[in-house]
Structure 1
Amino acid sequence: MPRYALKIEYNGAPFSGWQRQKGLPTVQLAVEEALRKLQPDFDGIQAAGRTDTGVHATGQVAHCDMTREWETFRLMEALNYHLKPDPVAIVDVAAVADDFHARFSARERRYLFRLISRRAPLVHDRGLVWQVRHPLDLAAMQRGANYLLGQHDFTTFRSAGCQAQSPVKTLDELRIERVDYPHGSEVRFHVRARSFLHNQVRSFVGTLERVGAGAWEPEDVREVLEARDRTACGPVSPPQGLYLAHVHYPERPFGA
């Protein structure tokens, strides 16, 4: 059976996350229902990673097995037709080898978190970012973030319901930048690792926001990391600012 990789964008607001759940709207279900319009006996898709309720994606990757050969552009167009009006788009399709697996073949995942600092309510980005109304000290936040780089036991920054076998992960990048934003500023968190614990990125951001607001010192981040205690973590940021931005594979299925 020919196998295809799908690159997927979605707005997570109307969905109960990526993973199929009985009786709930999910992104996986929306894509699978579109595939069944083309192949009624279609079984299911596998994705690079799960995203929680309200989390978005600009670079989610999934793979599917079809019973016949498809020209990749036509498969993309057909799926996008059947996905309407859901806020989900297949932005690229590639034919891949039978041993390609969207999850297990992945070597790196990158997340972007968008935080807006401004007093006025948001209009155009409402539901797509986390807004705070106070200024943030980026230099202090980056100093705190640097304590998280490398291999650590991230028990403090994993949810109580996390199903990962080990809390030990290697964080390759946690870079914070400021971007111009009308009547305020946008703070972007670029986070990169091979894999993540449940709620790990949102726990990072919520903790670092407290540093930027002046409620915590940068050195407090090291202390709560070393505590290996979930109750030591700062508040978990809301989901709407988080995006699964990119999944890297040894052989790039989409050529970019």
Structure 2
Amino acid sequence: MDIRRRNHVNVTGPDDAPVLLLAHGFGCDQNMWRLVAPVLAKRYRVVLFDYVGSGRSDLTAWSEERYSSLDGYARDVAEVCEELDLRRAVFVGHSVSAMVGVLAARAAPERIGALVMVTPSPCYIDSGDYRGGFSAEDIDELLASLEANYLGWSSAMAPVIMGNPDRPELGEELTNSFCATDPDIARVFARTTFLTDSREDLAGVRVPTLVLECEQDAIAPREVGAYVHAAIPSSRLVTLGATGHCPQLSAPEATAEAILDFVESVQ
């Protein structure tokens, strides 16, 4: 299989520089990194890709069986790394991709040497003392609404996720990204995203890790960032002076700066 075509892989930056592998979240594609990637590519080799089922990936390669768990997305990452023969790459994962990176680093430790987790959440559902931001009933209602009317759900939820009401163009961009995703694929990816509990995987992370959170995030509140930081040995927590779940769009300069500071410290 042509992995580069399957995952619409694009590579920029100096050929002989360390590699940053940028991974998008639910309902998005590599275009979400367009404001950050050029800054990173001035110093590093930047690899962009779309998960199968997203963006300009090969939709014929998608299967519900594979992508009903985060392991399917982690296999995409491992296969892209193998195709490009990446060694000790820094995996930069947004939202659910942060946890995909944890799984990929465990499956292919020689390929991934560090993690940057941008607004991560290992579990969206409150449980005991853990606050994920949503009750089980909230998530059931969210998924039912998505499955009943995906386009309507996208229009309602994207501005909430983006979280910058004074900049409506950002919410509109995320809405358009959601709406460009096949509803059947989005349904599976949403259930995989919002119902997976990956908390136990965090303790197994053995690579340098940056946890990057926003001051206000309706999807991954700061309690989640603190939890992830505490659960990953020797991780670093940075709180951006930004609002919303997508700082690579709402605060690209600060996001790029935080990533560069971390990468330079672990090289």
Q: Do they fold alike, i.e. is TM over 0.5?
A: no
- Larger RCO (CA under 8 A, 6+ residues apart): 1
TM-score, with normalisation over the residues of structure 1? 0.30
Larger Rg: 1
| Bigger helix fraction | 2
| Bigger strand fraction | 1
